[in-house]
Amino acid sequence: MGHYSRIMMRQPGRNAGQGLTTASLGAVDVDVLLHQHAAYADAMKRIGLEVKVLPALEHFPDAYFVEDTAVIVPEVAVLTRPGAPERRDEPLDMESALAEFRPIERIVSPGTLDGGDVLIVGSRCFVGLSDRTNPCGFAQLRDFLSPFGYTCAPVPVSAGLHLKSSVNAVGPDTLVVAPGFEDHPDFQAFSRITLDGEEAYAANSLWIDEHLFMPKGFPKTRQKYQSLGLNLIELDMSEMCKMDGGLTCLSLRF
């Protein structure tokens, strides 16, 4: 991936601080979070993407982490079945939002799958097996994607919420990885930028064409990214970080 023409986001509600989190970084400042969310949408517009922001979902405080609700490739959009029961119905209204762009498939019970666990790099698809995504969810996604030539591989997620909390593409052949993920056999075919442990959050960086979005406040990572020759765009993610969310979580890109 890396090239997209549009993104879909969802407006956070005033209850955005009441979602799930394992972080102990303090209470979310909702006004600041709304500002950071709007700044993200503006940055995407500035690089030429068409940005659609869906309305907040009152009963789902985590619904603005819209990445978890679908896996989108050029051939199909797969609606997920999120692993957290509190988030399970978030994908329901994505069908109407996505149906004009892609044929729709669905992960069904007993499979669970969060989009944050799905990393697609070209025709390779890595699926994190995490607290949210189970082997049945992986197998269902593999069966939807393999007819289109995607090779799907499971990756145990031993730390962090999702696979993409720790591993992302920052180029067609290059991954950024948090410590602990660099030795996975399936990643050996890629160049790898391994981050310092105290900057592991920055592994959730988002590559789009010649731009690389990274969270603000990670100077060692910024330094490591210089060699990529990409236009680095730092966004303040302080409030999303408090909710275990990062840059990729805030959008579906296609």
Q: Which is nearer to ligand CIR, 131 or 234 (CB)?
A: 131
Q: Looking at 37, 125, 162, 241, which residue is catalytic?
A: 162
Q: Which two tokens stand for residue 243?
A: 């909710």
Contact between 65 and ligand CIR by CB under 6 A: the answer reads: yes
Residue 243 is a binding residue for ligand CIR (CB under 6 A): yes
Q: How far is the CB of 166 from ligand CIR (least distance, A)?
A: 10
Q: How far is the CB of 88 from ligand CIR (least distance, A)?
A: 11
Residue 38 binds ligand CIR (CB under 6 A): no
**Is residue 68 within the footprint of ligand CIR (CB under 6 A)?**
yes
Query: Which C-beta is closer to ligand CIR: that of 165 or that of 221?
Result: 165
Among 4, 6, 15, 21, binds ligand CIR (CB under 6 A): 21
162 part of the active site: yes
Site for ligand CIR in 156-195 (CB under 6 A): 161-162, 165
For ligand CIR, the binding residues in 123-162 under the rule CB under 6 A are 161-162
| Residue number, 62 or 199, with CB nearest to ligand CIR | 62
Is 184 among the catalytic positions? no
The closest of 239, 213, 226, 242 to 41, measured between CA atoms, is 213
Residues forming the site for ligand CIR (CB under 6 A): 19-21, 62, 65, 67-68, 84, 87, 116, 161-162, 165, 243-246, 248-249
Q: Which residues are catalytic?
A: 162, 249
